[in-house]
C-alpha cells in the first residue's frame, strides 16, 4: 500500500483549479464526476510527481458537510493490490468501513473513517 494523493474538499471548483494550476504550478492530469454528483480533479507536480486531488460536492449531496475555511482535508488516497488486507489493517487500527464501490462485481474502491473522522480511500491497483 502506498500514498497516492491527498484530497482537499473545496466549495468553489473553478477558482480552486485556477489557484492550483496558476498559483501552485501543478498540472491537471484528469478529472471526473462521481456517481453521487461530486466532481474530482487530479493534479501533479511535474518535478516531484506529488499529486493533489480537489473534491467538490454540490449542495444537498451527502458529502457536502458544513465547511469551515482551512479544514478542507477530504481524504488521503492509497493504492493497494489487496483491498481486503489493507481494509483489515485499517480496521485493526480503529477505522470503520464507510462505503465500497464495485465495478464488474468486484470492489475497486473502499472508504474507511479513522479517528476524528479522518477518511482514507483504498484504490485497487492489481499491478502494484
pLDDT in tens, 54-112: 999 999 998 888 877 777 788 989 999 999 999 999 999 889 999 999 999 999 999 99
Per-residue confidence (pLDDT) for residue 78, from 0 to 100 = 92
pLDDT band at 39 (very low <50, low <70, confident <90, very high): very high
Tell me which residue of 67, 87, 84, 89 sits closest to 9, measured CA to CA: 67
In this structure, what C-alpha cell is assigned to residue 38?
461530486
Q: What is the CATH number for 42?
A: 3.10.180.10
Q: What is the share, in percent, of the chain residues with pLDDT greater than 70?
A: 99
Cα separation, 63 vs 12, in Å, equals: 15
φ/ψ region of 16 (left if φ > 0, alpha if ψ in -120 to 50, else beta) reads alpha
Q: Domain total for the chain?
A: 1
Tell me which residue of 17, 89, 100 sits closest to 52, measured CA to CA: 17
pLDDT band at 38 (very low <50, low <70, confident <90, very high): very high
Residue owning grid cell 500500500: 1
Residue owning grid cell 482551512: 70
pTM, two decimals, is: 0.75
Domain ranges, residue 45: 2-124
pLDDT band at 5 (very low <50, low <70, confident <90, very high): very high
pLDDT exceeds 80 at position 116: no
CB neighbours of 108 closer than 8 A, spacing ≥ 6?
83, 101, 102, 123, 124
Cα separation, 108 vs 35, in Å, equals: 14
Q: What is the share, in percent, of the chain residues with pLDDT greater than 90?
A: 64
Per-residue confidence (pLDDT) for residue 24, from 0 to 100 = 83
pLDDT band at 13 (very low <50, low <70, confident <90, very high): very high
In this structure, what C-alpha cell is assigned to residue 5?
494523493
Taking the alpha carbons at both ends of the chain, their separation in whole angstroms is: 8
In this structure, what C-alpha cell is assigned to residue 56?
467538490
Amino acid at each position: 500500500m502506498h500514498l497516492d494523493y491527498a484530497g482537499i474538499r473545496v466549495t468553489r471548483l473553478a477558482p480552486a483549479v485556477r489557484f492550483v494550476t496558476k498559483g501552485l504550478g501543478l498540472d491537471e492530469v484528469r478529472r471526473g464526476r462521481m456517481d453521487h454528483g461530486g466532481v474530482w480533479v487530479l493534479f501533479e507536480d511535474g518535478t516531484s510527481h506529488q499529486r493533489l486531488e480537489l473534491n467538490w460536492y454540490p449542495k444537498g449531496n451527502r458529502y457536502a458537510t458544513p465547511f469551515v475555511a482551512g479544514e478542507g482535508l477530504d481524504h488521503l488516497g492509497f493504492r493497494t493490490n489487496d483491498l481486503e488486507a489493507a481494509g483489515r489493517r485499517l480496521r485493526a487500527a480503529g477505522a470503520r468501513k464507510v462505503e465500497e464501490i464495485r465495478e464488474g462485481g468486484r470492489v475497486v474502491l473502499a472508504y474507511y473513517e479513522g479517528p476524528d473522522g479522518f477518511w482514507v480511500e483504498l484504490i485497487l491497483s492489481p499491478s502494484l
